[in-house]
Amino acid sequence: MSSWHRNRRVLFGLIVVTTIAVACVAGPWLLSAPPAADPVRGSLLPPMTRVNVIETVEGSTLVARRCEVRDDVVILYGGREPLAIAADRIQRRSSHRYWLGTDLLGRDVLTALLRGGRVSLAVVASSLLLTLVVGVAAGLMAATGGAVVDGVLMRLVDALLAFPVLFLMILAATLVRPSVGVLVAMLGLTSWMGLARLVRGQVMALRARPFVLAARLAGTRRFGMWRRHYLPNIAGPVGQDAALRMGDLVVAEATLSFLGLGVPPTVPTWGSMVADGQRVLSDAWWLATLPGLAVVALVVGLALIADGLREELDRSLPHEGPSRVNEAPALR
Amino acid sequence: MTRRVLGRCLALIPLVWLIVTLTFVAVHAIPGSFAETLDNPRLTPAAREIIRHRFGLDQPLDHQYLLWLKAVVQGDLGVSFLYRRPVAEVVGEAIPATVLLATTALAIDLLLGLVIALASVRRPHGALDRALSGVSLFVWGMPTFWLAGVAVLVFSIHLGWLPASHLHDVGADVLAPAARLVDLLRHLILPAGCLGVVGAASTSRYLRSSLLEIRSAPFLVAARARGLGERRLALVHALRPALLPVVTLVGLSLPMLVSGSLVIEVIFALPGMGRVLWTAAWARDVPVVLAVTLLGAVGVVLGNLLADIAYGLVDPRVRDHE
């Protein structure tokens, strides 16, 4: 594990993931605030469009791709027909570039993407935490709790793994009203099984090692064993697995939101943005495409981290036979 | 071999029982379940009692559980709230489309994965390998629903080559059998392709690494020393052992395939189980949701069993052990 931070794949993956995370968290503050939505002239503007922003004395905001000044009248083009405004009704004129275009209601896509990313990332991070807690606890208990506990837990894992995760989530979504908390619980509670298997296997292997045997003979209590011997020694594989699993969670969250079964529709996330965008696919390619690209970038970044970590772990650990296939990648 | 298969089948019984029980628990453990699904302010208390009685909801929980077990064993999955028809009928009609989609996707997945992996291990870490690894990592990161949208945008909207939804054209019933088959295949290309390509990305990743690991195995060194050609080494000697993890992977990726079918069926409006489940979820048609979840899980378990048996057939160490 000494050189994981020098691994090129890990480094590149970290850069990608950190960039996305920082952009989502800090982006909305750092960017110049986009003009208020103008559903008439600002609707479905393609990426990179520069517009004139006109604020009237009445307080409404108008957006126009082309703007002509004639004597004391300003004519705005775009929409169905041009609109003329008396110059003395204009309070402020400025210009704004929509880097990623606008949606059907004339809202800035970049801002929505970053806001949606915040929600997606928060949901994914919390469900990953839940997965880690449940998975590691279940794995530890199975490995150290005796044959009965082990048998019960592992059969439960087998049964849960047999459910198509998406079906399980839809089952839950039909029975409870969707909210962010429910979504986190659903994602977390349906993705801990593979991790529990991994932890169990690792701890079982550790228990055969002399230093663990010595610690147990010295009378270390169970919790002490967990904390001092098992957890630190499984941190590497668990971290690698967590990176991969986080990618799966990103896709799972996006898929659920896409299907309308994730967070409530008032909260836009990448998945629901794609769903909205696909309704106007033939008029505005960017609406469905860009949020999906964000998902791909995040997942690929996480996969690079996981791949690189695995490479380093394989190098530092004794080899354990063919590549691990104990669980297929989740929902895609 | 027969004993092994029989043993595996017997081991499935508790698993299937656990799945049936878990679906029951899921419905009853979550607050606001079943009975409240019928909650309608315009429903009089008397009417609610009648409904509760008809669905057996006034029975004690243990009794309900036994009723549920008995009904499932008898293949009676209840009556759909939405369609007012037996659930078995509604779901049964939807199975062929899902099976068709999933098997086509699986075939694309395996063939494409195999070709990519074989092409990349010809010169590991060479230019082609790097390019293919990069592309498959990128594709692997794509959510199916997004890839499907992009595919529709490119192939249906801009190029106009392929239909964007449904399994048949309007009026396909009157076509000659051959023309109908062509029509069906044209409609299958995009949905099965999207599902298969994403799967192939992960298959090729696994297969590539297992091929690379096997390259340095003693039996391959020996075969190379005997003077066998590289092509024969790769296609005959290395591929068979390298396919072992893929067999397991296929069994394990069945849940993913079933879930993925759901998304694809919804996007392409295909009349499959996933679409039935999705519609039922929106209508809170609990019996249908339960039945499809159950069927999906049992299908996955059976798929795993098949993969297990196939593993025995492919791996002489397992096959000749008994």
- The verdict on a CB contact (< 8 Å) between B255 and A274 is no
- The verdict on a CB contact (< 8 Å) between A162 and B304 is yes
- The verdict on a CB contact (< 8 Å) between A165 and B144 is no
What's residue B191's pLDDT?
Answer: 92
What's residue B29's pLDDT?
Answer: 61
Asked whether the beta carbons of A138 and A321 are under 8 A apart, the reply is no
Asked whether the beta carbons of A251 and B122 are under 8 A apart, the reply is no
What's residue B232's pLDDT?
Answer: 81
Domains of chain B (ranges, CATH numbers): 87-321 (1.10.3720.10)
Which of B27, B253, B262 is the closest to A175 by Cβ?
A: B27
Residue A132 predicted with pLDDT over 90: yes
Residue B36 predicted with pLDDT over 60: no
Interface test with A, best of B146, B165, B247, B276 (most A CBs within 10 A): B146
Top pLDDT among B137 and B14 is at B137
Which of A260, A299, A322 is the closest to B213 by Cβ?
A: A322
Say how many residues make up chain A: 332
Asked whether the beta carbons of B144 and B263 are under 8 A apart, the reply is yes
Q: Each residue of A161-215: pLDDT tens digit?
A: 777 777 777 777 777 777 788 889 888 988 898 899 999 998 888 888 888 888 8
Q: How far are the Cα atoms of B211, B220, B221, B229, B230 from residue B226, in angstroms, in the given order?
A: 20, 10, 9, 9, 12
B136 touches chain A (CB under 8 A): no
User: How confident is the model over B9-35, as a mean pLDDT?
Assistant: 70
Backbone φ and ψ for A51, nearest 5 degrees, come out as -125, 160
What's residue A298's pLDDT?
Answer: 93
**Average pLDDT, rounded, for chain A:** 82
Q: Vertex B289, ends B287 and B295: CA angle to 5°?
A: 100
Residue A332 predicted with pLDDT over 70: no
What is the enclosing helix (H) or strand (E) of B205?
Answer: helix B177-215
What's residue B1's pLDDT?
Answer: 66
Local confidence band at B316 (pLDDT 50, 70, 90 cut-offs)? confident
Burial class (CB in 10 A: 0-12, 13-18, 19+), A88: exposed
Percent of chain B with pLDDT over 90: 7
CB proximity under 8 Å: A 175-234 to B: 175-177
Q: How far are the Cα atoms of A43, A69, A108, A134, B61 from residue A78, in angstroms, in the given order?
A: 10, 15, 17, 55, 64
Q: Each residue of B162-207: pLDDT tens digit?
A: 887 777 777 767 777 888 888 888 888 899 999 999 889 888 888 8
Of A146-155, A163-172, B124-133, the range with the lowest mean pLDDT is A163-172
Q: How far is CA B90 from the centre of its chain?
A: 19
- The verdict on a CB contact (< 8 Å) between B277 and A167 is yes
User: How confident is the model over A39-63, as a mean pLDDT?
Assistant: 81
User: How confident is the model over B47-70, as a mean pLDDT?
Assistant: 76
Cα torsion through A282, A286, A292, A294, rounded to 10 = 180
Q: How far is CA A233 from the centre of its chain?
A: 28
User: How confident is the model over A1-23, as a mean pLDDT?
Assistant: 81
Cα–Cα dist A47/A289, whole Å: 12
Taking each helix axis from N to C terminus, what angle separates B239-252 and B177-215, rounded to the nearest 10 degrees? 120
- The verdict on a CB contact (< 8 Å) between A325 and B198 is no
A319 touches chain B (CB under 8 A): no
Q: Each residue of A256-279: pLDDT tens digit?
A: 888 887 777 777 889 888 888 888
What's residue A134's pLDDT?
Answer: 95
Tokens of A224: 């002490």
Please list the alpha-helical segments (H only) found in chain A.
8-30, 109-144, 147-162, 165-175, 180-189, 193-207, 210-217, 222-224, 231-258, 270-279, 285-316
Nearest Cα residue in chain A from B264: A332
Q: How far are the Cα atoms of A151, A296, B111 from residue A148, in angstroms, in the given order?
A: 5, 42, 43
Q: How far are the Cα atoms of A240, A284, B255 from residue A123, in angstroms, in the given order?
A: 20, 28, 23
Q: Each residue of B8-20: pLDDT tens digit?
A: 777 777 777 877 7
- The verdict on a CB contact (< 8 Å) between A175 and B33 is yes
Predicted model pTM: 0.82
Tell me which residue has tokens 């017997």: B10
- The verdict on a CB contact (< 8 Å) between A254 and B145 is yes
Q: Each residue of A85-117: pLDDT tens digit?
A: 887 887 888 888 888 888 888 788 888 899 889
A164 touches chain B (CB under 8 A): yes
Q: Each residue of B201-227: pLDDT tens digit?
A: 888 888 888 888 887 788 888 888 888
What's residue A168's pLDDT?
Answer: 74
- How far apart are the CA of A102 and the nearest CA of chain B, in angstroms? 19
- How far apart are the CA of B246 and the nearest CA of chain A, in angstroms? 9
Nearest Cα residue in chain B from A290: B146
Cα–Cα dist A40/A249, whole Å: 38
Contacts of A163 in chain B (CB under 8 A): 19, 22, 255, 293, 296-297, 300
* Number of inter-chain CB pairs under 8 A, A vs B: 196
Local confidence band at B111 (pLDDT 50, 70, 90 cut-offs)? very high
Interface test with B, best of A124, A153, A154, A174 (most B CBs within 10 A): A174
CB proximity under 8 Å: B 64-123 to A: none
Cα–Cα dist B264/A277, whole Å: 16
